[in-house]
Structure 1
Amino acid sequence: MKEAIMIDLDGFYLEPVLVSIGAYGITPIYEKPEPPESEEADEAPELPEPILIGYRVAVPVPSGLFKPRYDLTTWKAALSAYDDAMDAYCAALAAYDPDSEDEPSQPPLQVDLRAFWIEGLTRQEIDNIRNAPSPKTDQQEIARLEQQSTISMLAITELFEMMLPIIMPEE
C-alpha cells in the first residue's frame, strides 16, 4: 500500500488515503446519489447520474508547498495534447515505409504528472506565514514573567518608600 491524495474539484489537498502499490495517476471520485422514490410500482426508477466530488491523485506531493493544489486544468490540457501527439505518432508510424531512408518518427514524451502540483497560496499569504511571530518556548515565557515580576517588585518598593513619610510620620 502507498499514500495517495484526495483533492477537491478545485485541486486542493483534502486528505491522504491508502491505495495499492501499483496505483498511479489521477482517478475521479464520484458520489452515487440516492435514487428517487417511484410512485408507481410498475415503473422502474430512473437512476440519477453519479456526481463528481473530487479526485484521487496517486502522485507524490513535492515538499515545500504550504497549501498543495493539483492544477487540474493544465493537467487535462496536457493529457489532451499528449493524446493528440500519440494519434499523430500512430498515424505517422502506420504510414512509415521501412524501405525508405527516412527516420521513423519518435513517440511523444509521457506527461509528468508530478509537474502539476503547485502552490495554492499567494506570495502575500506565504510571506504572512513566514513572518508570523513564533510561539514562545516555556523558558522564554518564564524569563519574561521573572523580568516582569522584578520590575513590579521594584515599582512597589519605590511606591512604599514614597508613601513611608505619609504612613509613618516622624514625630
Structure 2
Amino acid sequence: MKEAIIVDKDGFYLEPTLVDDHVSGVFPLSELSGSRDYTTGSQIDTSLEIFEAYQVAISVPPGLYKPRFDFEAGEWTEGLSPEEIDTLRSKSQPQTIEHMARGLPKDALSLESRATVSQDDYVLQLMFDLQQRINDQSNRIADLEYHINQLKENA
C-alpha cells in the first residue's frame, strides 16, 4: 500500500488515503445516487454522478505550503502566492523577548513572566490544533467506516 492524495476539483489537497502499490495517476471520485449527505446525514436521492474530488496517486514533493495538483501539467504545484508565503514566513518567525517588550507599557509584566505567558499561549494553541486534527481524523475514519459498510451491503 502507498499514500495517495484526495484533492478537490481545483486540485487543492484535502486528505491522504491508501491505494495499492501499482496504482498511479489521477482518478475522479464520484458520489452515486443513494450516497450520504454529510451535512445532514440524509440519503441523496438522485441518479446523477457528482464529481467533487479526485484521487492523485503521485507523491507530493516536500516544501509546499499548500499543495495543489495542476491537472493540465500533471504535477504538484504551490497553491499559495509568493506574498501569502512571505506572510506565513513572517508570522512563523519567533519574536525575541526584547521585541515583545517594546510594545509593553512600562508597568507591564517583567520580561520573564511575559515570556512564560507567551509560551503558555503557544502550548495552548498547539494543544487546540492537535485536538482539531484528532477530531478531523475521527470524522474521516467514521466516513470510511460508513463507506466500507455500504460496500459490504452492496456486495
TM-score grouping bracket, smaller chain normalisation: 0.5 to 0.7
User: 1:46-85 counterparts in 2 under 5 A?
Assistant: 48-72=47-71, 74-75=72-73
* Residue in structure 2 matched with residue 130 of structure 1 by the alignment: 89
Q: How many residues align?
A: 94
Choose between structure 1 and 2 for higher RCO, CA contacts under 8 A separated by at least 6 residues: 1
* Residue in structure 1 matched with residue 22 of structure 2 by the alignment: 22
User: 1:1-171 counterparts in 2 under 5 A?
Assistant: 1-34=1-34, 48-72=47-71, 74-75=72-73, 113=74, 116-135=75-94, 144-145=111-112
Secondary structure at the aligned position of 1:118 is classed as strand
Q: Deviations over 1:60-117 (max 9, x none)?
A: 0011110000012x24xxxxxxxxxxxxxxxxxxxxxxxxxxxxxxxxxxxxx4xx21
Pair member with larger Rg: 1
Secondary structure at the aligned position of 1:121 is classed as coil
Question: Quick one: structure 1 residues 127 and 49, their matched pair in 2 at CA, closer, same or farther if it must change by over 3 Å?
Answer: same
In the alignment, structure 1 segments of 5+ residues that lack a partner are: 36-45, 76-112, 149-171
Normalising by structure 1, we get a TM-score of 0.48
CA distance in 2, matches of 1:147, 1:68: 36
Write out the 4+ residue segments of structure 1 that deviate beyond 6 Å after TM superposition. none
CA distance in 1, matches of 2:58, 2:90: 31
Shift of residue 52, structure 1, vs aligned partner: 0.5
Question: Quick one: structure 1 residues 147 and 57, their matched pair in 2 at CA, closer, same or farther if it must change by over 3 Å?
Answer: closer
Q: Deviations over 1:9-66 (max 9, x none)?
A: 010000000100111000110011239xxxxxxxxxx961211011000000011110
Question: Quick one: structure 1 residues 144 and 133, their matched pair in 2 at CA, closer, same or farther if it must change by over 3 Å?
Answer: farther
